[in-house]
């Protein structure tokens, strides 16, 4: 089985603890005993098993509270939750009109605290997702990406669009108030993805809708372009930082495959030619084997590299030609990977230890 207990981290690689366009992280604690439900038996990550799905609509984020063995799905029609292994999902939209949920994450220091970026603004829960309050305040518009500083969970960064235009904002009080940190950006700069260096949280990367990637080394006060070798006329869909070496960064681009930097963004090169001109939406780096990287693709299922992106193979047996929008790696032994799809399904495959 995937687990007997859920007492270790689930890493959803899209940005430390949330989503780039969110690696999210699901966290656990030893504060209480988890329920006995366990997921179904799974096959290897070279093939996938359909577990269940909360909706017929797009799944944008998957995050797991390992302490309660609960999986949350951000979707295009709200937030759903399920006890792992139950294959039953419950909508948790009653207290808030979420609508489209762009990103979803759990506070790494307190798993009862969750954040949701939605088309209706920014929401916070302090009771494990049972109830939500709108903490948008001066953050007007649709919140598309959120990341949490892994060393200070009161510090959040979000990108927005819609009412009031595009912007990048920072909170230092857990989302109660926000200040703009994108004032120096060119007009109409839309940030699609964010990543924080886990070894130096003053270093932030921002992937743009057009224009490549920006980097800050002072917590978002100032920004510079880091586009050497990178196409700048395509979307930067997703950023993922190697957990074993933060100088190694991957970016999923919309139409040009996956690019990689090995020097903190100073230069970039295309990864294996198999993904050239492809449309990856999500990336996941296996923390136990950082040379192993997964890419969720547009109508191509998933691809896997075991050599840091030099070569890629398709691993979509069981999923068919679906679009995988979010990937989640569960580090509980035996380990597993989850994929959420365009049409509301959740697939699972096992990983080697």
In sequence order, which residues have a C-beta less than 8 Å from that of residue 329 and are 6 or more positions away? 10, 11, 12, 13, 284, 285, 286, 287, 294, 335, 336, 337, 338, 351
CB 249 within 8 A of CB 261: yes
Three-state secondary structure string covering 137-165: CCCCCEEEEEEECCCCCCCEEEEEECCCC
For the stretch 46-57, what's the b/e string if a residue is b when 16 or more beta carbons lie within 10 angstroms of its beta carbon? Answer: eebbebbbbbee
Instruction: Please list the residues that pair with 142 across neighbouring strands.
Output: 161
Query: Please, which contacts does 176-180 make with residues 24 or more away whose CB atoms are closer than 8 Å?
Result: 176/135, 176/137, 177/137, 177/138, 178/137, 178/138, 178/139
**What number is the average pLDDT over the span 339-353?**
86
Instruction: Name all domains of the chain by residue range, CATH numbers in brackets.
Output: 10-350 (2.130.10.10)
Q: pLDDT > 70: what percent of the chain? A: 84
The pLDDT tens digits of the residues spanning 273-318 come to 999 999 999 999 999 999 999 999 998 899 999 999 999 999 988 8
Cα–chain center distance at 68: 20
Q: Please say if the pLDDT value at position 133 is more than 50.
A: yes
CA 221 from centre of chain: 24
- pLDDT tens-place string over residues 186-224: 766 889 999 999 999 999 999 999 899 999 999 999 999
Per DSSP, the three-state class of 64 is: strand
How far is the C-alpha of 68 from the C-alpha of 314, rounded, in Å? Answer: 33
Q: Are strands 249-253 and 324-330 parallel, antiparallel or unpaired?
A: unpaired
Which pair of structure tokens corresponds to residue 215? 């980097």
Across the range 252-272, mean pLDDT stands at 97
**pLDDT tens per residue across span 146-174:** 999 999 999 999 998 876 678 899 999 99
């Amino acid at each position: 089985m995937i687990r007997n207990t859920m007492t270790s981290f689930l890493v959803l690689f899209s940005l430390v603890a949330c989503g780039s366009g969110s690696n999210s992280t699901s966290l656990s604690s030893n504060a209480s005993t988890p329920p006995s439900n366990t997921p179904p038996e799974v096959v290897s990550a070279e093939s996938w098993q359909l577990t269940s799905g909360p909706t017929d609509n797009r799944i944008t984020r998957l995050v797991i509270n390992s302490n309660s063995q609960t999986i949350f799905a951000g979707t295009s029609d709200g937030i759903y939750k399920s006890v792992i292994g139950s294959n039953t999902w419950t909508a948790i939209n009653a207290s808030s009109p979420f609508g489209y949920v762009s990103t979803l994450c759990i506070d790494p220091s307190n798993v009862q605290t969750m954040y949701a970026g939605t088309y209706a603004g920014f929401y916070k829960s302090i009771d494990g997702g049972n109830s939500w309050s709108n903490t948008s305040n001066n953050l007007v518009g649709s919140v598309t990406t959120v990341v949490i500083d892994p060393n200070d969970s009161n510090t959040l960064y979000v990108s927005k669009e819609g009412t009031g235009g595009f912007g990048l904002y920072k909170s230092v009080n857990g989302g109660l108030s926000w200040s703009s940190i994108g004032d120096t950006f060119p007009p109409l700069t839309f940030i699609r993805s964010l990543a924080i260096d886990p070894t130096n949280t003053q270093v932030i990367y921002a992937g743009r809708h057009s224009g490549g990637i920006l980097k800050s080394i002072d917590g978002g006060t100032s920004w510079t372009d880091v586009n050497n070798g990178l196409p700048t006329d395509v979307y930067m869909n997703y950023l993922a930082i190697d957990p074993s070496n933060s100088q190694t960064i991957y970016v999923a681009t919309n139409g040009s495959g996956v690019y990689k930097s090995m020097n903190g963004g100073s230069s970039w090169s295309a990864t294996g030619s198999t993904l050239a001109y492809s449309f990856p939406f999500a990336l996941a780096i296996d923390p136990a084997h950082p040379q192993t990287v997964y890419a969720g693709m547009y109508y191509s299922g998933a691809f896997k590299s075991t050599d840091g992106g030099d070569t890629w193979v398709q691993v979509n047996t069981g999923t068919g030609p679906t679009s995988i929008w979010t990937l989640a790696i569960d580090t509980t032994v035996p380990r597993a990977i989850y994929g959420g799809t365009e049409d509301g399904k959740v697939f699972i495959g096992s990983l080697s230890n």
